A and B are shown apart, each in its own frame.
Chain A
Amino acid sequence: EVQLVESGGSVERPGGSLRLSCATSGFSFNDFGMSWVRQAPGKGLEWVSGINWDGGSTAYADSVRGRFTISRDNAKNSLYLQMNSLRAEDTALYYCARGYGSGSYLAYWGQGTLVTVSS
């Protein structure tokens, strides 16, 4: 069974940093690209960032480029999102999903981790 479990969400002040993690199991992690998707309270889904199987290709939404960094550790079957210079508008539930780009869609999702940016 494919499982994705996010962690690392918390309350942070504007300008602060957080690192989200996504632990995976039930599939060959290093065969798949991965993505982060977020959902602000009461709002729609927003694709945030993606990474290919070996980390050689990454992509970001305009809203986070230059502030967020996606990475992965294939030995640990884990995906990460380093979030710097946080803003109030980054407040959202952050989902980890298996898939990246036009080659593989977002087939499996975790349950999300909540990030709140507030002073």
Chain B
Amino acid sequence: SYELTQPPSVSVSPGQTARITCSGDALPKKYAYWYQQKSGQAPVVVIYEDNKRPSGIPVRFSGSTSGTMVTLTISGAQVEDEADYYCYSTDSSDNHRGVFGGGTKLTVL
């Protein structure tokens, strides 16, 4: 089955740039999305269609893509950005099946 691979954890100091990667063989052909999940809360989309930012999401959040890897970048990470981040896309062989990466715990301290 199709998989998206993320690092389990990333740690930065406040004000530094955090980069979270997600790799998958079909990502050159499929859009990727990034979700932020804070403790005890439902996920919230922070990037859609590889690099678009929904209204209300701070400009420090950005997305990029290169080959089979997509990257979520948080420029000048804040303490309130500490959360779990998940990439999401659709299955390489079935446009209707969703797939999440394993998630990355971002620590900002």
User: Do A and B interact with each other, yes or no?
Assistant: yes
Residue from A45, A50, A95, A102 within 8 A of B30 (CB atoms): A102
Contact with B along A31-62 (1 / 0, CB 8 A): 00001010000001111001010000111111
Say if the beta carbon of B23 comes within 8 Å of chain A: no
Please give me the residue from chain A that is nearest to B42 by CB atom.
A109
Say if the beta carbon of B83 comes within 8 Å of chain A: no
Say if the beta carbon of B90 comes within 8 Å of chain A: yes
Chain A hits for B103, CB < 8 A: 44-45
Sorting the interface of chain A by its residue count into under 10, 10 to 19, 20 to 34 or 35 or more gives: 20 to 34
Residues of B that sit less than 8 Å from A by CB: 1, 30-31, 33, 35, 37, 42-45, 48-49, 54, 84, 86, 88, 90, 94-103
Residues of A that sit less than 8 Å from B by CB: 35, 37, 44-47, 50, 52, 57-62, 95, 100-103, 105-107, 109-112
Which 8 residue pairs of A and B lie closest in terms of their CB atoms, listed nearest first?
A47-B98, A59-B96, A44-B103, A101-B96, A109-B42, A102-B95, A45-B100, A102-B90
